[in-house]
Every structure is written in C-alpha cells, then in structure tokens.
C-alpha cells in the first residue's frame, strides 16, 4: 500500500468516526424524537460513507472494495426508507414534535 | 493506527446509542436507536475485518446491513398495523405513544 | 426474454464479485444453478404483480447524484454544527411540500432525497404532498424554494 | 485492541441484558433483544466463529425478532407484575447454574489445541476436505457432507418448529377475520 493511500485512508476514517460520534451525541442530546431523526441521519450518510471510503483505500483494487461499495449503496438506499418508516409510524399515531409552531400541525394534532 | 482510533470512536458511539435505546422515552426513539446501533455494528464488523487482517469478513457486514433493514421494517409494520399479516387501515391508530 | 438475460447476467456478475470463486467448476455450476432459479422466481413474481422497476444509469441521473452528494455533505455539516453548538438554536418546522413529479418513481426519488439529507425528513405523504419535518427554519426554507424538486422533475424519471 | 473490542462488546451485552430484565414493557424487551443479538454476533466474529455469527445474525436478529413481534400481536404489551416474591424459581435457577458451572470445570481450556474433540476426527476432516469435497470452507464441508445426516435431522426439526409456529399464528388471524374488527388495546 502506498503512503498516499495510507494517509488518505487515515483521514477519511478519522473524519467518518468524528461524524459518527457527532451523530450519536446528537441522538443523545437533541430534545425529541423528530429532531433525533436528523442526528441519526448524520451517522447513516456522511459518517458511514466516509468510514467505508477510508476502508476502500485500505483494501485497494480488490474484491474487498467491491463489497464495501455494495455495503455503502445498500445502506444509502435503505436508510431513508427505514427513517421514513419510523418517522411515519410516529406521525401516524400522533407523537407530537417538540417546538414546532402550532399552525404547522394538522387539525387533529394541535 | 487510524483504524484503531476510528474503532474506539465507534465503540463509544455504540455506548451512547445504547443509552438512548434504554432511556427511550418513546418506543420510536428506541427503534431509531436500535436501527442506528445496527448501522454502527456493520461499520464495526468491517473495521474488525481490517484490524485482524482478514477483510473477507465483510460478507457478514453485508448480511447485517440487510437484516437490520428488514428487521426495522418488520417492527414498523407491526406498529402501524398491529399484526404482520395483511394491513387493515382501521388498526393504524391503536397505538399510543408510550 | 431480454429482461431475463439482463437480469441473469447481472446476477451472475453479482455472484462472482461477492464469492470471488472464479475457477472451481463445482462452485461455478452451483452458482449458475442459483442464478437460474432466481431468474425463474423473479419472472414468476413479475407475472403475478406485473410491476418492473428497471435500473437506469445515464448522465442526468449521475449528475443528480453528484449534486445530491454535495447537498448531503453541506447539510451534514450544518446539522453537526447545530448539535455541537452549546445553545442548540433549534427552530423545528413541519412544512408541506408539493411533489410535481409525474411518476411514482420520481416521487419516491424526491421523498428519499429529502430524507437522506440530514435536517429534513419526509414524515408523511398525502397524494402529491409531503409533510416534512425540518430541524431549523433555514432548512425548511431551503426545501420550500423547490430547487431539489425541480431537479428531480427534470430527471424525467419514467 | 482485540481485548478492548471484546471487553466493550461484552459490556454492551451485559448492559443490554440488564435493561431487558428491568423493563416491564415487552415491546422494549423485543427491541433490545434484537440489539443484543447484533452485539453478540459481532462478538462471535471477533472470536473467529464466523459461521455461528452468520446464524446469529440471521436467526437471532432477523427471524426471532419477527417471531417475537408475531407473539406480541397475540398477547399483551406489558409483563404482569408479580406481587409476592417466590423462592422456588430462584432455587431452581441457582442450582442449575451451579451444576452447569461445575460441569465446565472438566472442560478443556478455551482454545486448547489438545482438547479431545480436536484430536480424534477433526484432523482427518481438515486433511480430507480439499480432496474429498472440494469446497473451500471446511465448516460448510463438515456440516453439509461429513455430518450431512446430522444436519438433515436438525433442519427437519427446525422446519417442523417453523410450521408449528405458522399454524399457531395463522389460526389466530382467521379467528380475527371471523370476529370482525378487533378492539384496540390501549395498554402500550
């Protein structure tokens, strides 16, 4: 593995880990379910992609990289669906969002 | 080196997310936290493959990504329709938030 | 027939890439068998519900992906700053966004793009309107000016 | 590094298990046990038991979560609170646990290459797999070929169990349809 690839891998891994940590921290810190959805989104998109790209640099041009690409595509395609499903389930039963002005909500939820 | 640091970061993140899964407060927070936990396990498995020098273990990470998605959808289908069979719209509102 | 051929070829490529066995004749023949069975089952399922979703990769879609990735990175940094700021100046909004895409696939791409971008999550869909939860007023405004929607419509998804 | 990962994963398992014990809410217990399966499968990967990890991921995190949810649709969402403390179950559990631990005293040390199970027939399997079965994965070769009848029996048992569960869950659904709409439960 060349030095450049090693440095790039290290940078991507570090950045990804930082974003994963920020996302998890947000999941703990934010006040309600709907805002926490966004924090989980950080982990699922940028944190995950950056870490996997870093690992691709470690793997080089091999089948390992192909598998990493598959994992990344799979999660990027399925995570919005899962997020929407959770959000939709919560909204359907009328879980009230924190801090949203009342004129935004449907009649039944006010 | 950086890989080890990133792995430690992942482990810390997993602890925080587990705390959210246990603390709740609503059911949906827990589902979200467990789903996010699953994503981190996928990353951890991939990182462990590289740490032990055997990246073939990625197959399991791939399987996890699939299982995690299917599991979340099954849980939410259960939430919305109260059973796992055919959906009937009248059941959608039966669940309270906690 | 063409459909079956394309599907079979892509499944075979997928199998080879995942397994990494290119030489053992026993394993290759087992892989080929599984491809044939999968194609047969998929064709049967096609007959049952008649819906096919074709995968399409062409320059406009690739351009959209690149634009989306840049948007996602920007939104990630915004939300990360928000989480780390000591005051956490949240101003959550629920906004309604019109989906102008003529096809189901277009609507799905639009809704998923909104959700994939941190800061905005599609919470509900009524016919052609999305209910979107945005974590700040600025994120909500960025969505309602309709740039992303126009771009998805311009894709001309069938 | 490996030690750190193992320790943290074991710690996570412990925390999750205690949380499952503490909660009275059955749905929460189901969610957490899904997380428990994911974690324990990661632990199995780090112990190099990849095939077991595969099974744990598919069965533990996937199928059993769905089965437990299916069960939850048939029952209440909350555990009944036991009023008085009963000694007999505690006694049974303690004695059984003590016996099991006593049994492990005779077992060979973890990873001992001279363990009896590894001396008798395993070297033969390892030597023979490549020429006899021509499958790269030794575990697969042993399970599906050397011990093929064994595996067939196990699969039959699991299949029977699955059919049984489906019959139980399926019957309830027909009853529901006959009874019309169901009364919504508000005990969640």
Sequential pLDDT tens for chain B (98 residues): 788 889 999 999 999 999 988 887 888 888 889 889 888 988 998 888 888 887 777 888 888 888 888 877 877 777 766 655 444 443 333 333 33
pLDDT at D183 over 60: no
So what's the pLDDT on residue B92?
A: 39
Q: What is the pLDDT of residue B93?
A: 38
What's the confidence (pLDDT) of residue A51?
92
Cis peptide preceding B25, ω within 30 of 0: yes
pLDDT of residue A97: 77
CA distances from C4 to B47, C38, C43 (A): 37, 10, 8
Q: Which residues in chain A are closer than 8 Å to B52, comparing Cβ atoms?
A: none
The two tokens of residue B84 are: 């796992």
Write down the domain spans for chain D: 1-81
Same domain for C41 and C102, yes or no, is no
Main-chain dihedrals φ then ψ at residue C150, nearest 5 degrees: -60, -40
Residues 6+ apart with CB under 8 A from C43: C4
CA B20 – CA B14 distance, rounded (Å): 10
Is pLDDT above 60 for A27?
Answer: yes
B82 interaction partners in chain D (CB closer than 8 Å):
73, 182, 184
Q: Where are the alpha helices (DSSP H) in A30-107?
A: 33-42, 48-59, 63-92
Taking CA–CA distances from C13, the nearest residue in chain A reads A66
How far off is chain D from B53, nearest CA to CA, in Å? 12
Q: According to the model, what pLDDT value does residue D170 have?
A: 67
d(CA D139, CA D55): 13
User: Does the residue C54 lie in any domain?
Assistant: no
Q: In this structure, are strands C93-98 and C129-134 parallel, antiparallel, or unpaired?
A: antiparallel
Q: Is the pLDDT of residue C41 over 60?
A: yes
C21 contacts on D by Cβ (under 8 Å)? 136
Q: Indicate if C18 and C77 belong to the same structural domain.
A: no
Domain of C18 in residue numbering reads as: 2-49
Using a 10 angstrom Cβ sphere, with 0-12 exposed, 13-18 middle and 19 or more buried, the burial of residue C153 is middle
Verify that C63 and C129 share a domain, yes or no.
Answer: yes
Cα nearest neighbour of B5 on chain A: A14
Which are the contacts of A64, defined by CB distance < 8 A and separation ≥ 6? B55, B56, B58
ipTM value, please give it: 0.82
Q: Find the closest chain A residue to B27 by CA distance.
A: A90
Better-scored residue on pLDDT, D2 or A11 = A11
Closest CA to B31 of A95, D166, A98: A95
Question: Does B31 lie at the interface with D, CB-CB under 8 angstroms?
Answer: yes
* Contact yes or no for A89 and B43 at CB 8 A: no
CB-based contact A26 C79, cutoff 8 Å: yes
Residues of D within an 8 Å Cβ radius of C? 134-136
Which DSSP string corresponds to B62-98?
HHHHHHHHHHHHHHHHHHHHSSSSS--GGGTT-----
Q: Would the CB atoms of A54 and B2 count as touching at under 8 Å?
A: yes
* Nearest CB neighbour to A82, from listed B46, B73, B92: B73
Among candidates B3, B31, B92 on the partner chain, residue whose Cβ is nearest the Cβ of A13: B3
Q: Residue D185: what pLDDT?
A: 41
C19 touches chain D (CB under 8 A): no
pLDDT of residue C6: 85
Which residue of D13, D48, D69, D177 is the best one to mutate when testing the B interface, meaning the one whose CB has the most B CBs within 10 A?
D69
Taking the domains of chain B in order of start, what are their residue ranges? 26-85
Task: Provide, as residue numbers in chain A, all residues whose Cβ is less than 8 Å from the Cβ of B33.
Answer: 27
For residue C65, the chain A residues in CB contact (below 8 A) are none
Is A79 an interface residue toward B (CB < 8 Å)?
A: yes
Span D112-133, pLDDT tens digits:
777 777 777 778 888 887 777 7
Q: C-alpha angle with apex D25: D19 to D31, nearest 5 degrees?
A: 65
| Residue C158 pLDDT level (bands cut at 50, 70, 90) | very low
Q: Which residues of A touch C (CB under 8 A)?
A: 19, 22-23, 25-26, 29-31, 34-35, 37-39, 41-42, 45-46, 63, 66-67, 70, 76, 79-81, 83-84, 87-88, 90-92, 97-101, 104-106
Identify which of C84, C112, C124 has the shortest CB distance to residue A80: C112
Count of structural domains, chain C: 2
- Look at residue B87 in the predicted model and tell me its pLDDT: 40
How many pairs of residues across A and B have Cβ atoms under 8 Å apart?
A: 150
């Amino acid at each position: 593995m060349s030095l450049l690839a090693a440095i790039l891998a290290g940078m991507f891994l570090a950045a990804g880990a930082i974003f994963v940590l920020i996302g998890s921290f947000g999941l703990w810190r934010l006040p309600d379910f709907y805002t926490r959805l966004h924090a989980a989104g950080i982990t699922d998109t940028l944190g995950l992609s950056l870490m996997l790209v870093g690992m691709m640099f470690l793997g080089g041009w091999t089948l390992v990289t192909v598998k990493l690409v598959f994992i990344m595509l799979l999660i990027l395609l399925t995570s919005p669906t899962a997020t929407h499903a959770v959000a939709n389930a919560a909204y359907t039963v009328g879980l009230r969002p924190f801090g949203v002005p009342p004129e935004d909500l449907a009649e039944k939820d006010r | 080196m950086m890989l080890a640091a990133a792995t430690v970061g992942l482990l810390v993140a997993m602890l925080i997310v587990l705390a959210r899964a246990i603390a709740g407060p609503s059911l949906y927070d827990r589902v979200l936290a467990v789903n996010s936990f699953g994503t981190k396990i996928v990353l951890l498995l991939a990182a462990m493959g590289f740490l032990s020098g055997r990246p073939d273990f990625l197959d399991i990470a791939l399987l996890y990504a699939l299982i995690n998605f299917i599991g979340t959808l099954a849980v939410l289908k259960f939430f919305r329709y109260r059973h796992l069979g055919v959906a009937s719209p009248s059941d959608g509102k039966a669940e309270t938030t906690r | 027939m063409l459909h079956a051929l394309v599907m079979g070829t892509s499944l075979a490529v997928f199998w080879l890439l995942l397994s990494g066995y290119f030489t053992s004749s026993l394993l290759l023949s087992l892989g080929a068998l599984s491809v044939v069975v999968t194609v047969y089952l998929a064709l049967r399922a096609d007959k049952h519900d008649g819906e096919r979703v074709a995968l399409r990769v062409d320059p406009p879609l690739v351009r959209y992906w690149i634009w989306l990735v840049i948007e996602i990175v920007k939104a990630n940094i915004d939300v990360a700053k928000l989480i780390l700021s000591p005051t956490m100046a949240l101003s959550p909004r629920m906004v309604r966004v019109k989906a102008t895409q003529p096809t189901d696939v277009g609507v799905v791409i639009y809704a998923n793009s909104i959700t994939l971008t941190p800061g905005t999550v599609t919470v509900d869909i009524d016919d052609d309107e999305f209910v979107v939860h945005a974590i700040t007023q600025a994120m909500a405004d960025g969505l309602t000016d309709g740039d992303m929607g126009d771009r998805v419509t311009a894709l001309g998804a069938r | 590094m490996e030690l750190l990962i193992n320790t943290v994963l074991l710690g996570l398992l412990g925390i999750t298990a205690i949380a499952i014990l503490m909660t009275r809410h059955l749905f929460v217990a189901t969610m957490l046990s899904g997380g428990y399966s994911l974690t324990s499968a990661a632990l199995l990967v780090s112990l190099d038991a990849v095939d077991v990890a595969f099974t744990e991921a598919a069965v533990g995190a996937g199928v059993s979560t769905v089965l437990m949810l299916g069960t939850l649709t048939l029952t209440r969402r909350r555990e009944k609170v036991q009023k008085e403390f009963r000694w007999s179950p505690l006694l049974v559990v303690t004695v059984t646990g003590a016996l099991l631990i006593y049994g492990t005293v005779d077992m060979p040390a973890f990873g001992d290459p001279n363990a009896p199970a590894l001396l008798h027939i395993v070297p033969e399997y390892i030597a023979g797999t490549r020429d006899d079965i021509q499958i790269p994965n030794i575990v697969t070769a042993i399970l599906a070929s050397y011990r093929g009848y064994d595996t067939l029996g196990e699969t039959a048992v699991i299949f029977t169990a699955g059919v049984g569960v489906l019959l139980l869950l399926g019957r309830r659904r027909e009853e529901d349809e006959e009874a019309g709409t169901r009364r919504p439960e508000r005990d969640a």
